[in-house]
Amino acid sequence: MNATTIQFGQLPALQLRAPDGAEATITLYGAHLVSWKPATTTGAPGPERLFLSSLSALDGKRAIRGGVPVIFPQFAERGSGTRHGFARTATWRVRDSGERDGAAFAVLALAPADLAPDAAAAWPHPFELQLRVAVQGACLWMTLDVRNTGTAAFPFAAALHTYHLVEDVEAVRIDGVQRETLAIVDKLDQVFEGVPGAIVFDNGADRLQLEQAGFADAVVWNPGAADAAALADMEDEEYRRFVCIEPALLGPQVLEPGGSWRGEYKVGPASAV
């Protein structure tokens, strides 16, 4: 089967498996990609590519720490609403799933009727979100669509807050966000506006290429030792095992009535993307 309903912690989830063995797991809570395993030459899933904190809540009461949270309609505290928005803590609906051209995929949707009353009241704009996740071979594709279904314009920001699993964050090197290669030697929380092309990410073991469209910006984040120790949902030393490199639209962008926006994201081997 290309999509199987499973439990991930206490959360309903979809597990995707492509014919070549590539796998992904997406919880309905937050439409949150919590696992991605590229295919191997044996037809079995390979090593995990996404970091997930060992202390993360998996009960639907708090946002998941790790994987790929969907950020909408605001980034961090850049707005008057909930930090990073409500999309990552809402329960999405499965709209479609299956196989297409050898890739396993799932499409999840979110609208105001799916929100808790307090979230709907805090951001009273008619909208629809749709997230498509697909895996095949050594590649991951994610597409986020935002549609204004109301009669008034609204501003929004969006991001796919990807936690890349690494062996040691100090070995990470990132090209494509600034003129020189970026290394992480301590706490880092930096926005790069107007990213011109692909980002190449050396995780110390191999190189990945991150391509984005629609998402004009990128954010690179690692909490470092001091901030990680202050996070209740992360072990003190876990900061060494990930770096967040996230495609983002920080604008914010104004979406007119009936208008739509699409952000696309592709991750794969630097030699093959």
End-to-end C-alpha distance for the chain, whole angstroms: 26
190 close to 174: Cβ distance less than 8 angstroms = no
pTM, two decimal places = 0.96
244 close to 221: Cβ distance less than 8 angstroms = yes
CATH 3.40.50.1100 correct for 3-269 = no
CA distance 140 to 166: 17
- Give the model's confidence band at 81: pLDDT under 50 very low, under 70 low, under 90 confident, else very high: confident
Q: Is the pLDDT of residue 32 over 90?
A: yes
pLDDT digits (tens, 9 = 90+) for 186-226: 999 999 999 988 999 998 889 999 999 999 999 999 999 99
- At 240 the three-state DSSP class reads helix
Instruction: Write the CA distances from 168 to 31, 184, 226, 238, 261, integer angstroms.
Output: 28, 10, 17, 10, 36
69 close to 30: Cβ distance less than 8 angstroms = yes
200 close to 176: Cβ distance less than 8 angstroms = yes
Average pLDDT over all residues of the chain: 94
Average pLDDT over residues 80-97: 90
Q: Is the pLDDT of residue 30 over 70?
A: yes
146 close to 155: Cβ distance less than 8 angstroms = no
Q: Is the pLDDT of residue 273 over 60?
A: no
**Residue 115 φ then ψ, to 5°:** -85, 155
Percent of the chain's residues with pLDDT above 90: 87
Domain ranges of the chain: 3-269
CA distance 270 to 273: 6
- Give the model's confidence band at 1: pLDDT under 50 very low, under 70 low, under 90 confident, else very high: low
Q: Is the pLDDT of residue 71 over 90?
A: yes
pLDDT digits (tens, 9 = 90+) for 248-258: 999 889 999 99
CA distance 238 to 172: 15
**Residue 249 φ then ψ, to 5°:** -125, 100
pLDDT given for residue 152 in this prediction: 97
218 close to 189: Cβ distance less than 8 angstroms = no
pLDDT digits (tens, 9 = 90+) for 147-187: 999 999 999 999 999 999 999 999 999 999 999 999 999 99
If you write DSSP's letter for every residue of 246-260 in order, what string do you get?
A: EEEEEEEEEE-TT-E
Query: Which of the residues are catalytic?
Result: 161, 246
